[in-house]
Amino acid sequence: MIDVAHPRDLVMIGAIFGLAAFIWSGWAQEAPPKGLVFRIVLAGLGVAGLALAVPSILTAIGNWSEPSAFTSGTSAFTLYLIVFWVEVIIGAVASFFLIRTSQTENIAPLILAIVGVHFFALAVVFGQPVLHLAGLLLTIVAVLAFVLPRDTAAPSFWCGILGAPVFLGIGLWCLLAGYSALTEHGALTALVEHCALSGYSALTALAV
C-alpha cells in the first residue's frame, strides 16, 4: 500500500494531509450541530492537523536533497497536470454556479469530491497506492456530506468531521513510513561511509 522508494514524498504527503485536516476541520466550524462539544472536537482535529503538518514539513526540508517521484517530463506528470487543470476549471465553474443559485452549502462537498478524485491522479504520479485509498475514502465522504441531513448540520461540517480523520490517519501513516525509511537510509549511508573511510585508512597504512 505504501512504497518507501521515495521517503521524502511520503513525508510531504504527511505535511499536506496535516494541513488539509486543519483546513477542513476549520471549514466545518461554519455551521456544526448545536452544542459546544462539536466545536471542541473540530478544534481538536485542527490542532492534530497542525501537529502532523509541522514535523512533516521540518523533516521534508531537512531531507530535501532526497529524490522524488514527482518528476516533470514523464507521462504520469503530464496526466496529473491535465487532471489538475480540468478539476480547477470544473471546481471554479461549478462553485460560481452554486453561488449564483444560492446553493453555497454544496460547495464544500463539491470541493472535497474534486480533491478525492485528484488523489487518484496523484497516486499514479507518486506511485503510491495509498493515495488511491485516500481518494476513495474522501470521495465517499463527499457523497455522504451531500446526502446527510442538513437540518442537523451544514455539509461542510460532515466534510470536516469525517474527512479530517481520513487525512490525519493516512497522513500519519505516510509520515511514519517515510521517516522510518529516511532513518534507515541515513544509517546505511553512514555505515557505507564509515566502511569506505576505514578501508582507505587501512590501505594508507599498508602503503606506508
In a domain? residue 37: yes
With a pLDDT cut of 70, the percent of the chain lying above it is 88
Q: DSSP letter for 148, please.
A: S
Domain span including residue 59: 7-207
| Predicted TM-score of the model (pTM) | 0.86
In a domain? residue 126: yes
Helices (H), the chain: 7-27, 36-62, 75-100, 107-126, 130-147, 155-207
> 200 vs 149, which has greater pLDDT?
149
In a domain? residue 91: yes
Return the C-alpha cell found at 115: 480533491
In a domain? residue 43: yes
How many structural domains is the chain composed of? 1
User: What is residue 194's predicted lDDT score, i.e. its pLDDT?
Assistant: 42
In a domain? residue 1: no
In a domain? residue 107: yes
Q: How confident is the model at residue 200 (pLDDT cuts 50, 70, 90)?
A: very low
Mention every residue, 6+ apart, whose C-beta is less than 8 A from residue 13.
126, 128, 131, 170, 171, 174, 175, 178
Q: Give ∠ CA 41-2-129 in degrees, rounded to 5.
A: 90
In a domain? residue 40: yes
In a domain? residue 2: no
Q: How confident is the model at residue 205 (pLDDT cuts 50, 70, 90)?
A: low
Q: How confident is the model at residue 139 (pLDDT cuts 50, 70, 90)?
A: very high
Q: What is the pLDDT of residues 72-122, one digit of tens each?
A: 787 878 888 888 899 899 999 999 999 999 999 999 999 999 999 999 989
Q: What is the pLDDT of residues 23-73, one digit of tens each?
A: 999 999 999 999 899 999 999 999 999 999 999 999 999 999 998 888 778
Is the Cα dihedral 117, 75, 57, 2 positive or negative? positive
